[in-house]
Structure 1
Amino acid sequence: MFCRTVTRISSTAGHLQSRSVSSSPYGRTHVWKRRPPVLPNPMVPKFPQQVIRSDGSSFIHWTTSPRSLLRLTRDTTSNPMWNTGVWMDEQSIEEEGATTGRLGRFNRRFVGMGGSGEEVNWMEGFEEPAAAAPGA
């Protein structure tokens, strides 16, 4: 054939360099490289799926699952971690609001200053000034 391989040891890098040298007058431009066949990207199937929540509401979305109907027994509407207010009575909601979050932190910080539901008469000693005469 027309090809031969030349191997040279590089003194600076210390590794082998290898290239094909062709004795053909046309070089290697006419020689095809052996490449593995390229396959197209796989097509991902998408199926419509109706999801029925535990409260009866439903929606349709596209998924790779071939099941056309999905009934949920536990979802965001029935899980106590998602909506804690449904599972508590009104008194415990007020207690939680007073002790947690930003409002609870504010109330703990300014507990002796009044406010936060307490009756404060801050305008108790205030008198309205007499209206100025229009001719003055």
Structure 2
Amino acid sequence: HLLSHMGRQTHSSFHPSTKDTVSSSAIAIEGEVHTITGEKLPYEIPRALTADEIKETVQDYVKAARLAKEAGFDGVEVHGANGYLIDQFLQTCSNERTDEYGGSMENRIRFLLEILDALKADGTYPMERVGVRISPNGA
């Protein structure tokens, strides 16, 4: 089962309870996105996640893995490619953070590693049942 978060690749109309589009940094994607009503609008400028929200998002991946297990999936794949949220942290074009999640590759990969560490600590799946999808340059 694929565990993913769209980050800035969505529109606030899809999540009316928060009205937020979030990412690693407040950098919009060029182009347009379809809204929940089918309307085509420019991508919104996302709000950069706070350090506390990043920790919450890590736990959201753990919750999603547990739900996948309950649904009968024998493993999960953490989607860190194609411009999704994890990829937004990995790429310098979308990550302009100056904290422990930005700058060096070691910092930019921290979010993904924290997700994997949390999945390992949770133990819902053995790590040989946890895959990671990554791709160069968000492709």
Report TM bin, short chain. Answer: under 0.3
Relative contact order higher in (CA < 8 Å, ≥ 6 apart): 2
Provide the TM-score with structure 2 as the length reference. 0.19
Q: Of Structure 1 and Structure 2, which has the larger fraction of its residues in strand?
A: 1
Provide the TM-score with structure 1 as the length reference. 0.20
**Which of 1 and 2 has greater Rg?**
1
